[in-house]
Amino acid sequence: MSSCCGRERCTCRVVAGPGVTVEGNGGNGTPYVISTGGGGADCAAVRPCFSAGDGAGYDEATGIITARPSTDAGNHLSIGTDGGLLVPAADQLTVGCGLQGEGTAAAPLAAFPIAGELPWSDDWDCDAAANSTLRCDPGTGALWTPPEHTTAALTLQQNHPMGTPVMPTTGTVVIIDGTAWSEGRYDADTLSLCRGVSFSNEFTGHAEIAWTAGAIFDLAYAVQIDGGALASRLMYSELTPSGPAGRRRVTFSTAQAVVLPPHTGYAVRVYPAIRVTAGSVTIHQWITDTHLFALTR
């Protein structure tokens, strides 16, 4: 027997269990050596006892347990360069024009109205969904409102260089001078490429005339629209056949207005005209003031 516990002799018995080997007899030169047997064969025996739960992966053939990131869209979990789990820092939210906030619960992303919030009903008593002009383009997701309105106005004075024509009895309305005309014109798309236009013009005439005794006459404008037929508009009349000769300056006007669809032009031209029924009339001067006004619809 060998010495047990280093001081006295005792009986020691070591029995190897399953998967364990015992070597040596407990002596100083041959101590007991206890080791497992089988190595990899024993690992293979226990591998089927393991299984992967949520968030884990397990390969029974190799015995390797791994993390298992979800493959769902939008997942940012990955394996870092050090082998650890990594969630990259989120990109900082950039707020564009017309928006405000940080995209958090405390400061949510929102529209940025310069004048603040205001209920529709504070200003309007009609239905907001039917009458608000703010829309969203389903193709691009962009917000839009109708094109802006535009206006234009012009006043032009023309002194028609007719000389001093003497108009004898004409019977009907005639143009005094075919080169003496004024025009109000709107050229298509000059105010808007999208909207129609309300276009109006007014022609104010200032005529200095003299007539013989007993003269009967009417001053007029011959009006032409878009190059069409002429139509006379009587402006001033002397209708007393027994009246004396006279001379005076008179003022009169005629106007024209129209609502135009988009991409449509319009032109109104007026010619100084006269109808002399009796006697004769001398035109000393004829001035036309042309007033134009256009407003997009």
Q: Which of 251, 291, 266 is nearest to 157 (CA)?
A: 291
Task: Tell me which H or E stretch contains 42.
Answer: helix 40-46
Domain boundaries, position 248 = 151-296
Is the residue at 97 inside a domain? no
Radius of gyration of the chain (CA): 52
Write out the two tokens for 162: 């007719």
Is the residue at 182 inside a domain? yes
Q: CA dihedral in degrees (241, 245, 247, 251; nearest 10)?
A: 0
The total number of residues written for the chain in this structure: 297
Write out the two tokens for 227: 């190059």
Q: Which of 253, 259, 260, 251 is nearest to 291 (CA)?
A: 253
Residue 110's Cβ-side half-sphere holds a number of Cα atoms within 13 Å equal to 11
What pLDDT is recorded for position 83? 82
Judge residue 250's burial from the number of C-beta atoms within 10 Å of its C-beta, 0-12 exposed, 13-18 middle, 19 or more buried. Answer: middle
Kindly report whether the global pTM for this prediction surpasses the value 0.75: no
What does the angle CA 200 – CA 209 – CA 251 come to, to the nearest 5 degrees? 30
Are 184 and 203 in contact, with CB atoms under 8 Å apart? yes
Secondary structure of residue 141 in the 3-state scheme: coil
What does the angle CA 265 – CA 233 – CA 240 come to, to the nearest 5 degrees? 170
Nearest-angstrom CA–CA distance, 246 and 210: 6
pLDDT digit string (tens) for the chain, length 297 residues: 455 555 555 667 777 776 677 787 777 778 877 776 555 558 777 778 888 888 888 888 888 888 888 888 878 888 888 888 888 777 778 888 999 998 888 999 999 999 989 999 999 999 999 999 999 999 999 999 999 999 999 999 999 999 999 999 999 999 999 999 999 999 999 999 999 999 999 999 999 999 999 999 999 999 999 999 999 999 999 998 888 999 999 999 999 999 999 999 999 999 999 999 999 999 999 999 999 999 999
For tokens 């969904």, what's the residue? 129
Write out the two tokens for 112: 């940025």
Amino acid at 213: A
Domain count of the fold of the chain: 1
Is the residue at 216 inside a domain? yes
Task: Tell me which H or E stretch contains 290.
Answer: strand 281-296
Write out the two tokens for 179: 């080169």
Is the residue at 131 inside a domain? no
What pLDDT is recorded for position 123? 95
Is the residue at 209 inside a domain? yes
Is the residue at 42 inside a domain? no
Is the residue at 63 inside a domain? no
Nearest-angstrom CA–CA distance, 200 and 194: 19
Q: Within 10 A of 294 (CB to CB), how many other CB atoms are there?
A: 21
Is the residue at 287 inside a domain? yes
Question: What CATH number is attached to the domain comprising 176?
Answer: 2.60.120
What pLDDT is recorded for position 86? 85
Nearest-angstrom CA–CA distance, 228 and 249: 31
